[in-house]
Amino acid sequence: MTRTFDLVAIGTGSGASTVASRCRSAGWQVAIVDSRPFGGTCALRGCDPKKVLVGAAEALDWNRRMQGKGVRADQSRIEWSELMRFKRSFTEPVPKYREDGFSKAGIAIFHGRARFVGPAAVQVGEDILEGRKVVVATGAKPVDLNVPGTEHVTTSDQFLELDQLPGRIVFIGGGYISFEFANVAARAGAQATILHRGPRPLERFDPDLVDRLVARTRQIGVDVQLQTEVKEVAKRSAGLTVRASTLGQDREFEADLVIHGAGRVPEIDDMDLAKANVQWDPQRGVKVNEYLQSVSNPAVYAAGDAAASGGAPLTPVAGYEGQIVAANLLEGNQRKPNYEGVASVVFTIPPLASVGLHEQEARERGLRFRTNHQDTSLWYSSRRVGEGCSAYKVLVEESSGDILGAHLLGPGAEETINLFALAIRQGVTAADLKGMLFAYPTHASDVQYML
């Protein structure tokens, strides 16, 4: 059956949902498609459920840090099955809630994998959906590890559905997923190991602060192995064996569970994009112009992880790009995305946050700047909660006083970083921010001493 729409949106995460809702509100006939339960990665398989688990680990860690400081934490522990039931109270209602919302708005719903059959037409099951415009916002999937035994590897999606936590877990890769989940797993009683093939994990973050976080992660019992490349995952009667090489030396790691944390790529490789004359990069996504429109097919736009744009693969960026795409669809190509001042956080314990330039990037641009860098473990805001791992690094341009970058590690970093992001995005100088009267004592009130 062939059906005609003004817009066909592929995906139901932040990007696609934003475009579909705004275009429908403008009177367009809209269809939305997803092969998975409606809601997208963040709400169902990413940020939101992950943060529920992190919250439990934070509570436990807080208790343990305060041992001997007035808190008795002898009996505190994470009951994994109860925690997962609590997590599901957030995720299970999402698909129906999203579908009901689309239906009430008059958006046609389709379940299945969308594949292009023409310049602005996709097939979903037996249905052909023809649109004046098509938006690709399908999100990302785990990258192919290209090693034997990948069928034995568990994805981060599956980790978030475990009813019981195994005793030995190996994480492949040293990015967000591995560090966040290993921090949770270790505090829940598992023996966690991270295998990262490069010399330093969390490569998008400040190297000095990453070194501190790696030390803290090892301190809680996580075995962080760097310059260690996985060669094979083998099934054994007693579990799994990960064969790896560290600087040419062969090694083996025993595990009950092996988690893929080695990065993600756009989930667009099976969409037959060539039939729509849509150019794409397997690592970055649909090739788009400055308006997030396909460079080779003007009927197609892309947003979020599926777009080879200048934005980071973050949920707020996907939603923002959805707004840009919707405006350009409704008003003609007029809006261009601005990616200045977009903060990013690794929700470890303590959290690591970053916005703006790193020192090396600033030097490569020929900028003259000063770097404020200090260990803050003895500052009041860290000491009062027993956190011995905290520091910051802030880059300020000498001539203008503009904040070029901010990098925070420690309690409250995930919230405080937003103040620096606002300053960078809105052009608030270091002097202006330092002159603010902050509520005290708060994590935000530390900002004035970082400038």
* Averaged confidence pLDDT in the chain: 96
- What is the pTM assigned to this prediction? 0.95
- Is 297 a member of any domain? yes
* Domain end (from 245, 262, 279): 262
Give dist(CA 207, CA 185) in Å, integer: 24
The domain that holds 376 is classified in CATH as 3.30.390.30
- Is 77 a member of any domain? no
Say if strands 127-136 and 121-124 run parallel, antiparallel, or are unpaired: antiparallel
Residue 104's Cβ-count burial label (10 Å; 0-12, 13-18, 19+) is exposed
| Same domain membership, residue 409 and residue 280 | no
- Is 373 a member of any domain? yes
Q: What is the band of 348 on the pLDDT scale with cuts at 50, 70, 90? A: very high
Comparing CA positions, the residue from 370, 446, 371 lying closest to residue 415 is 446
Q: What is the pLDDT of residues 287-302, one digit of tens each?
A: 999 999 999 999 999 9
Q: Which pLDDT value is given to residue 64? A: 87
238: helix, strand or coil = coil
- Orientation of helix 207-219 relative to helix 176-187, angle to 10°: 30
| Same domain membership, residue 415 and residue 317 | no
| Same domain membership, residue 239 and residue 190 | yes
- Is 71 a member of any domain? no
β-pair partners for 356 = 405
Work out the angle at residue 387's Cα, subtended by the Cα atoms of residues 382 and 391, and round it to the nearest 5 degrees: 65
| Same domain membership, residue 270 and residue 126 | yes
Give dist(CA 235, CA 242) in Å, integer: 9
Total structural domains in the chain?
3
Comparing CA positions, the residue from 44, 350, 353, 64 lying closest to residue 188 is 64
| Same domain membership, residue 249 and residue 167 | yes
Q: Is the pLDDT of residue 356 over 80?
A: yes
| Same domain membership, residue 138 and residue 19 | yes
Residues above pLDDT 70, as percent of the chain: 100
Q: What is the pLDDT of residues 385-413, one digit of tens each?
A: 999 999 999 999 999 999 999 999 999 99
Give dist(CA 293, CA 354) in Å, integer: 29
* Domain end (from 331, 353, 373): 331
Q: Which pLDDT value is given to residue 71? A: 83
Q: Is the pLDDT of residue 161 over 80?
A: yes
Q: Is the peptide bond before 350 cis (omega within 30 degrees of 0)?
A: yes
| Same domain membership, residue 105 and residue 28 | yes
Q: What is the pLDDT of residues 60-88, one digit of tens each?
A: 999 889 888 888 877 789 999 999 999 99
- In terms of DSSP H, where are the helices of 202-291? 207-219
Q: Which pLDDT value is given to residue 12? A: 97
- Is 81 a member of any domain? no
Strands across the sheet containing 249-255: 228-236, 239-246, 249-255
Domain that holds residue 122: 2-47+86-142+265-331
Task: State the average pLDDT over residues 241-260.
Answer: 96
- Is 207 a member of any domain? yes
Say if strands 307-308 and 352-356 run parallel, antiparallel, or are unpaired: unpaired
- DSSP for 413-429 reads HHHHHHHHHHHHHHT-B
DSSP 71: B
* Domain end (from 309, 331, 353): 331
Task: State the average pLDDT over residues 111-133.
Answer: 97
The domain that holds 242 is classified in CATH as 3.50.50.60
| Same domain membership, residue 255 and residue 179 | yes
Q: Which pLDDT value is given to residue 79? A: 95
| Same domain membership, residue 138 and residue 38 | yes
| Same domain membership, residue 398 and residue 372 | yes
Phi and psi at 415, nearest 5°, equal -95, -45
Give dist(CA 230, CA 206) in Å, integer: 25
257: helix, strand or coil = strand
Q: Which pLDDT value is given to residue 175? A: 95
Q: Which pLDDT value is given to residue 70? A: 87
- Is 79 a member of any domain? no
- Is 32 a member of any domain? yes
Task: State the average pLDDT over residues 127-153.
Answer: 96
Residue 234's Cβ-count burial label (10 Å; 0-12, 13-18, 19+) is middle
Q: Which pLDDT value is given to residue 293? A: 98
| Same domain membership, residue 20 and residue 119 | yes
Q: Which pLDDT value is given to residue 422? A: 97
Q: Which pLDDT value is given to residue 225? A: 98
| Same domain membership, residue 137 and residue 164 | no
